[in-house]
Amino acid sequence: MSAKQSKSQVVRVGRTGEGHLVDIQLSPAKDGQAQHFGIDLQALPVPDRRLSCDTVSFLRTDYMVKLLFAQKEVVGNGYLAMVVVQMTFDAIHNFLRSMKPLETGLKELLNGQYPIGEMVEIKERPQQSAVVTANLVFSGYSGTDACLDFYYTSPFSMRSINILNKVSVEPVVRVNVPTHLLVAMFRGLQSLAPSLPSITGKVTS
């Protein structure tokens, strides 16, 4: 008499080190378009790494956009530190969409007496610098103080979406920036956006 062997299904879960496993909401794919999904970034922890900046800029390469956040020297010229956040074109498009709800309030704030922000070309190498990769941004502001929390979902994490309806998200870095500089970067990226191709599906937050 032979015993029947039961088949067990292995369910993939987030790998150790990939970040925090969070629920997502899938939207049906439309004709000719990739599937959309939404992530509640408020369920994620704040990144441990922090930078306060007083200078912003960005650079476009063939494959990505590099957001530059720098802190000037307190005495003299030059920069104390800089964080370069590398983002794909799709990630930039998603970042701009996530900023839309804040746009009206930001315009009202800047209609007052606060100085208009400007991006600058950073020509000097800072004393300290770091380069990180992100594809999700959680942004907000209170008066003249703004904050950007950057997160990353790896290609390995994306594979679990259709299996678990979850995705692992890694906190990358928090950048504190004056609101007028956030607006300057946002407007600059808006002008750049039409030239950035969109390759994959869209992530909303």
- Residue 147 · residue 140 · CB < 8 Å: yes
Instruction: Give the C-alpha separation, 55 to 72, whole Å.
Output: 7
Structural tokens at position 137: 């941004």
Task: Write the DSSP string, 40-79.
Answer: -GGGSPPPS-EEE-SEEEEEE-SSEEEEEEEEE-SSSSSE
Name, in order, each residue with C-beta under 8 angstroms of 104's C-beta and a sequence gap of 6 or more.
none
pLDDT, tens digit, for every residue of 131-178? Answer: 999 999 999 888 889 999 999 998 887 776 666 677 889 999 999 999
Return the pLDDT at 46: 93
pLDDT, tens digit, for every residue of 67-101? Answer: 999 999 988 888 999 999 999 999 999 999 888 87
Return the pLDDT at 69: 97
Going by C-alpha positions, the residue among 58, 89, 95 that lies closest to residue 197 is 89
Residue 9 sits at the vertex; the CA angle it makes with 8 and 12, to the nearest 5 degrees, is 140
pLDDT band at 201 (very low <50, low <70, confident <90, very high): very low
- Residue 146 · residue 182 · CB < 8 Å: yes
Q: What is the mean pLDDT of the chain?
A: 82
Instruction: Give the C-alpha separation, 149 to 136, whole Å.
Output: 8
